[in-house]
Structure 1
Amino acid sequence: MAQFDVHEVKTGRYLVDCQADLLSHLESRITIPLEPASERPPAATRLHPHFAVQGRTMVLATHLAGAIPTRSLGRKVSSLIEYEYEIKAALDVLISGI
């Protein structure tokens, strides 16, 4: 489990683990759901960046960020580490509005 790993949960949906690796000893992780671009209307690009995961275009639903128990993460299917700055920028928009 690492920051910006993408996990598939039991419902078949994807979650991005956004919590710093330094805090891996905690029993919960801050995650953001990924939703199919076809299911989400166009939104603010910085708040909802798009990524390709498992061959599908997915939207980071930043406004739905939250904590879940680590045991609920499911299996890792991908990593978005190369999009670290875009994900952190989306969190900045959510938290500070900039």
Structure 2
Amino acid sequence: MAQFDVYANPSSHSKAHYPYLVDIQSAVLTDLVTRIVIPLGRTSAFGGESMKGLTPHISFEGEQFLLLTPQIASIPVKHLKNPVGTLAHFRERIVAALDLAITGI
């Protein structure tokens, strides 16, 4: 598992609006049985609205999503199957959203 890998959301309840989870956990923490993730929500589900900096727009697989930083969570590793892509190229945007959520700057 690599930081910023994207996985299909395993939840049958939420995957319609939040089809993907982004693994944001450092690769240093490989011994944990959970991973810290942030869901990607379809922009259309939010009327195109975002919170500047906190929920940045992310393009993935030809669609537009919001990185839903306030919905950060952990999930058991066993629920994250094969990654379907990576958002490593959005690293700065993701880290900036986390910084805003944690430090307010």
TM-score when normalising by structure 2: 0.87
Alpha-carbon shift at residue 45 of structure 1 (Å): 2.3
Partner of residue 8, structure 2: 8
Quick one: percent identity of the two aligned structures? Answer: 39
Correspondence for 1:72: 79
Matching residue of 1:43: 50
Q: Which has the higher strand share?
A: 1
| CA shift for structure 1 position 6 | 0.5
Residue 40 of structure 2 aligns to a residue in which SS? Answer: strand
RMSD (Å), alpha carbons: 1.2
- Within 5 Å, give how 1:16-55 maps onto structure 2: 16-41=22-47, 42-55=49-62
Distance in 2, Cα, partners of 1:24 & 1:73: 14
Residue identity opposite 1:51 in structure 2: I
Paired residues, number: 98
In terms of mean alpha carbon deviation, does 9-18 or 63-72 score higher? 9-18
Do the aligned residues in 1 keep the contact of 2:34 with 2:74 (CA within 8 Å)?
A: yes
Contact 1:2-1:17 within 8 A present in 2 as well: yes
Deviation of the 1:43 alpha carbon? 2.2
Match of 2:94 among 61, 83, 87: 87
Does the aligned pair in 2 maintain the 1:15–1:32 contact within 8 Å? yes
Question: Given the two structures, how large is their TM-score scaled by the length of structure 1?
Answer: 0.93
1:62 aligned to which of 52, 55, 69: 69
Structure 1 segments, 4+ long, off by >3 Å, are: none
